[in-house]
Structure 1
């Protein structure tokens, strides 16, 4: 991969996750404080991500693997997303806000698979090259969080009450315009499937579901769904939790998780080579359970180190499960269904798993909410237990010794 291509892919990843990190983390406190949303309503807002992820394989299978260049549809989707994000900024109540968030996530979630497809198509050795590109997405998320807390101070207590968090949506809208235009300069990623014969299942991206015939990939797919149930608790509740217990600059402090993500992303190829895919995934699952226990018993005072450590574990949680899972999926998919395969794993994680997770997280948040505040101890111990059970099941049933392990160990 030449330097020009590497720079373009890095900028693409930076903007892709700057946009997401620019509004997604703070939507919980914004909805609760400014739109007066309940826990269930906040869960519904976050579950729009899941509906988008469920639809994503169909969009990607239709356009990126069959008819249109991936980089072109990436640009179109981000331009449409910019308009919807601006409408989120302008919305004044939950009934007006929800449809625009839903529409935005339907056009945004397919782009997660598309940026991976564009990247992988330029790589000869994804196991070694992908992490150096993907790390720029994490840096983009970090920059967005730091800007919110330390540059604009939108998440300061007095500014939250005045509705300043709405400007996070305006910031993301502007970034979406930039990425939408920039996408048309990315390396050409043409469709790899012949359009001579149209098969409905392939057009809808369902051809990649044949990967589920592989017993180990099926176990990985199911585990991906289950581990995203506790993951939803973090995305929905973490910023609100830190804000409620009076942690200063909560959004900025949460970027510690992305800083650790950068470090562990760069270390991922080394861990892969030494321990293999199965143990990499298991360490990621263990990190989810540990971080929630730390959240359950940490506070803004003398036990604040538990909160910081729990946030810092995000690098292990995300990289060792999600990024390694994307690489594993790419190794299992043939050249004709690479984009659709990434869409399928997006469906399992950000789609089905988080849809269930956000629903459960909303119910749990309301169940442990009293006039005195939330019982955060129980709200965090429940997903910790779920993560521990998933880890045990994956350890027992997954035993892949195929080409991925061979490539990693070579």
Structure 2
């Protein structure tokens, strides 16, 4: 890949995940402190991500694979998203907040598939090239988290002054930049050809479901749904958990997870070549279980190292499962359904799996909440740890070694 193209795609990834990281990590804390939302409200807000992810394959399959260039759709979505982010900045209660975040996530989630599709369209060797591009998304997420902590928006004093709402304004500004920049990206034209007659399944991108005829891919797809149930506990509860137990500048500390993402993403091609896809995915699920055990037994004093190690394991958890899965999906999709196949795996992970996970996390967090407003975090974290181990056993049992581009 020419260096100028690599730079342009890397900047696209940086801005995409900077926008997301600007508000997503701190949303639970923001809702609890600024809008006085309850656990069930916070769970509902995070579930909007899942609704967006479920709709994403249909939007991407209908538009990006068949009718319009992906980079132009990306630009339009982020310009509209900037307006919604600004409106969220102005929200004063959860009743006004929720419909706005729902509309935003329905727009935003398809962009995760679009940036992958735009990148894969420029690659001839995705298993080696994609991680180098995708790592800049992680760096963007880190930059957003570090900036929030540097500005002390997430500190006890900053939250007391209501400064955490500025995360929405920052996301709006960067979204405008990305929206304009998207129109300059390399052209990614529709690849799938219509049969001439209108077919609902074709228009909605449902043809990508043919990937599930491959037994191994079907097992991977089911595992992706199941492993996202415990993942939702991390996204929804980690920031409130660290804040509640007294960890200062928690957003900056949680960015350590993305620092490890950078390192492990760059190491991903080595793991593919030495261990293959199955072992790489097994390592990811083991790391997931270990992370939650560390959270269950760590604390803000002598056990803070356990919390930090659990955060750092995010690199293995995310890269070895999700980035591997995106490359594996691209391999099985072939040329015809690159965008809608990425939308399909987005549906499985951020959609169905996390929708169940956010609901479960909300119910369980509320169950272990005492009258003084404190959570029994040990009991809460042991539940996703157990789920992760069960998913691991399912995957080991049914997924068979496969000769793909991920294993020479």
Aligned twin of 2:167: 168
Equivalent residue, structure 2, for 1:18: 18
Pairwise CA distance, 1:146? 0.2
Matches within 5 A, 1:120-199: 120-150=120-150, 152-195=151-194, 196-199=196-199
Matched residue, 1:49: 49
Stretches of structure 2 that go unaligned for 5 or more consecutive residues are none
Which residue is 2:398 aligned to? 397
Matched, 1:408 2:400: no
Q: Which residue of 1 aligns with 2:256?
A: 256
The structural deviation recorded for 1:409 is 3.2
For 1:234 and 1:409, locate their aligned partners in 2 and report how far apart those are by CA, in whole Å. Answer: 31
Higher mean C-alpha displacement, 68-77 vs 393-402: 393-402
CA drift of 1:158 comes to: 1.5
Conserved 8 A contact 2:295-2:307: yes
Counterparts of 2:204 and 2:198 in 1: how far apart (Å)?
Answer: 10
Q: Which residue of the partner structure matches residue 350 of structure 1?
A: 350
CA deviations 1:327-376 (Å, max 9, x no partner) are: 00001102111110000000000000000000000000100011341000
Counterpart for residue 117 of structure 2:
117
Q: Which residue of 1 aligns with 2:61?
A: 61
Separation of aligned partners in 2, 1:400 and 1:113: 27
Root-mean-square deviation over aligned CA pairs: 0.8
Q: 2:377 is matched with which residue?
A: 376
- Distance apart, 1:383 and its partner CA: 0.3
Deviation at 1:13, TM superposition (A): 0.1
C-alpha displacement at 1:163, in angstroms?
A: 1.5
Q: Partners in 1 of 2:329 and 2:406 — Cα distance?
A: 14
Measured in 1, the distance between the counterparts of 2:249 and 2:43 equals 23
More displaced 10-residue stretch of structure 1: 159-168 or 296-305: 159-168
Q: Per-residue displacement from partner, 1:26-82 (whole Å, max 9, x unpaired)?
A: 000110111111111100000000000000000000111000000000000111111
CA shift digits 1:229-250 (9 cap, x unpaired): 0000000000000000110110
SS of 2:188's equivalent? coil
- CA distance in structure 1 between the partners assigned to 2:207 and 2:293 by the alignment: 40
Partner of 1:386 in structure 2?
Answer: 387
Compare the two structures and name the one with the higher helix fraction: 1
Cα distance in 2, alignment partners of residues 145 and 333 from structure 1: 34
Output the CA distance in 2 between the equivalents of 1:399 and 1:227: 18
Q: Distance in 1 between matches of 2:285 and 2:406?
A: 20
d(CA) in 1 for partners of 2:198, 2:298: 56
- The superposition leaves residues 237-291 of structure 1 with CA deviations (integer Å, 9 ceiling, x where unpaired) of 0000000011011000000000000000000000011110011111101111000
Distance in 2 (CA, whole Å) between partners of 1:409 and 1:324 is 12
SS in 2 for 1:225: helix
Q: Distance in 1 between matches of 2:352 and 2:109?
A: 13
The alpha carbon displacement at 1:193 in A equals: 1.6
1:400 deviates by 4.0
Q: Distance in 2 between matches of 1:285 and 1:301?
A: 28
Where in structure 1 are there 5+ consecutive unaligned residues? none
Q: Secondary structure at the match of 1:257?
A: helix
Q: Number of matched residues?
A: 406
Contact 2:277 2:407 in 1 (8 A): no
CA shift, 1:16, in A, is 0.3
* Aligned partner of residue 123 in structure 2, secondary structure: coil
Alpha-carbon separation, structure 2, partners of 1:199 and 1:129 = 35
Where 1:374 maps in the other structure, the secondary structure is: coil
* TM-score, with length taken from structure 2: 0.98
Structure 2 CA distance for aligned equivalents of residues 194 and 258 of structure 1:
39
CA offsets 1:189-242 (integer angstroms, 9 cap, x no match): 000122434321121011100111111111111100000000000000000000
Partner of 1:80: 80
